[in-house]
Amino acid sequence: MAVPTSDGVPRDYAKAREWLKKAADKGQAEAMDNLGIIYANGKGVPPDLAEAARWFRKAADKNVPEAMDHLAYAYATGKGVALDYQEALRFYRRAADKGLAAAQFDIGTMYENGRGVPRTTPRPFAGTKGQRSKGGRPRNTNSAGSAWMAAERRGRAEALRWYARQANMESLRGC
């Protein structure tokens, strides 16, 4: 299926999948993560969340932070794998330790919602309504700042630590 793009070059997901598979078979980790995305979104193939999770795991095993984040999301939602908050947290932490701000935010969200860990921040955050992007992550650091203040008031060290890391990463990138 060819889809026209703004630069006039047709987008062919089936062909992209072929090339990504060749690269993944040769050990290219980012290609493995991209194959997972293709299977998760059903681009050029029927959607297959289990196959997506399989590719995310292969890439995560090769230390691709984005793949770790994708696999963590699969565990956190039970999409393609059995729902397992502990595994989600483990992969979010691995990605966060590699500096992936999205994973740092997701860890804070797990603590906020008490998903596999004790709930440590109030819900909902003050000042965050309507500020989340399509993926559910903040468009700016306001929610991280709100979490920081709420966690500080309540002495919730773990949520505070992860939200602070996420906010620091975004400020370093000029967000």
What is the tens place of the pLDDT at every residue in 51-62? Answer: 999 999 999 999
Average pLDDT taken over every residue of the chain = 78
**Torsion (CA) 12, 16, 19, 25 in degrees, nearest 10:** -150
Percent of the chain with pLDDT over 70: 65
- Tell me the residue length of the chain: 175
Work out the pLDDT band at 139, boundaries 50, 70, 90.
very low
112-148 b/e (C-beta count within 10 Å ≥ 16 → b)? beebbbeebbeeebeebeeeeeeeeebeebebbbbbb
Measured between alpha carbons, how far is 28 from 30 in angstroms, rounded to an integer? 6
- In the chain, the amino acid numbered 45 is V
Measured between alpha carbons, how far is 83 from 77 in angstroms, rounded to an integer? 6
Question: Which is higher by pLDDT, 116 or 147?
Answer: 116
Percent of the chain with pLDDT over 90: 49
pLDDT digits (tens, 9 = 90+) for 49-92: 999 999 999 999 999 999 999 999 999 999 999 999 999 999 99
Measured between alpha carbons, how far is 52 from 16 in angstroms, rounded to an integer? 15
Give the model's pLDDT for residue 134. 45
Helices (H), the chain: 13-25, 29-41, 49-61, 65-77, 85-97, 101-113, 142-154, 157-172
- Least confident range from 39-43, 52-56, 115-119, 166-170: namely 166-170
Average pLDDT (1-5) is 49
Q: Per the structure block, which two tokens stand in for 14? A: 């089936």
Work out the pLDDT band at 125, boundaries 50, 70, 90.
very low
Average pLDDT (100-120) is 85
Which structural domains are found in the chain, ordered by start? 1-97 (1.25.40.10), 99-175 (no CATH)
Q: At what angle do helices 101-113 and 85-97 cross, to 10 degrees?
A: 150
Indicate the DSSP class of residue 38. Answer: H
Among 109, 43, 39, 86, smallest CA distance to 67 is for 39
